[in-house]
Amino acid sequence: MRILVTGASGYVGKHVVKELINKGHQVLVVDKKNYFKSSGQLTIIKEEIFSGDPDVFNKMGKPDSMIHLAWSNGFQHNHDCHVLALREHYTFIRDMLKGGLKQFVGMGTMHEVGFWEGCIDDDTPTNPASMYGIAKNDVRQFARLLAREYGATYQWIRAFYITGDDENNHSVFTKIIGSSNAGETSFPFTSGKNKYDFIDIKDLAKQIVAVTEQTEVNGIINCCSGVAVSLGKRAEQFIHENNLSIRLEYNAFPDRPYDSREVWGDNTKISEVLSRQHQG
């Protein structure tokens, strides 16, 4: 397949591109950080995705599919940029589909749902409680309508709590590493009781690529483990796995009011995708 990846040099994008190349696809990357070098399988696109150019599909190399990962300040949940960029995302996605794109794969987040207790599936109502969640949910909705209008396959990857490559993901695990490297012996933490669906970045990349390689399973697809684990337990495990000489100082910070106490993704669809892949 000829697949365009926006945000290719970002935290998730780098792993997705590597997996696509490993699977033998022709990959087109939009790389603002000059992270990649052209090769037989990889072509670097120098065009700006948010230029507003109506001919953007041709400028992006006429891909069969697009994995749209490009996003700014994803770890700053209430930054104004999330909502201010909506018009640019709309115009880009519309013009890609209008130009001839046949498969749109968008990167979503559990933050679209907002505060929720229990399992998140396709029918879980969305009530985002951050600017990041609001913006992602808006992109999800208008991308679905645009894909329907232009007759394209629409797949929305809903990610949960991503771990791995921890020096680059700006998560609490990144901060734990930083404190340990600085010689700190304790790390201020929340209660650690909230339970989330954790997935390693390499496993997430494999799931995203598996979704893109087929079109039978579409709509919202939770890319997740399907299991909820407490943040405290996962952090303690992380400290042990990395042989860090630091302990968690529980209840130093309050839990964020918009974070769910226990939430996980329904992995029925991604399990079907992976099963089809193995059978193939």
Residues assigned a catalytic role: 132
Collapse the DSSP code of 137 into the 3-class scheme (helix H, G, I; strand E, B; otherwise coil) and give the result. Answer: helix
Write the CB contacts of 181 (distance below 8 Å, at least 6 apart in sequence): none
Other Cβ atoms less than 10 A from the Cβ of 210: the count is: 21
CB within 8 Å of 39: residues ≥ 6 apart: none
Integer Cα distance of 6 and 32 in angstroms? 10
Question: CA-based angle 33:95:8, to the nearest 5?
Answer: 20
Number of Cβ within 10 Å of residue 11's Cβ equals: 18
Map tokens 């302990």 to a residue: 247
Q: How far is CA 260 from the centre of its chain?
A: 19
Give yes or no for a contact between 94 and 53, defined as CB atoms under 8 angstroms apart.
Answer: no
Sign of CA dihedral 221, 61, 147, 276: negative
Q: Name the DSSP letter for residue 254.
A: P
Asked whether 198 and 230 are in contact (CB, 8 A), the reply is no
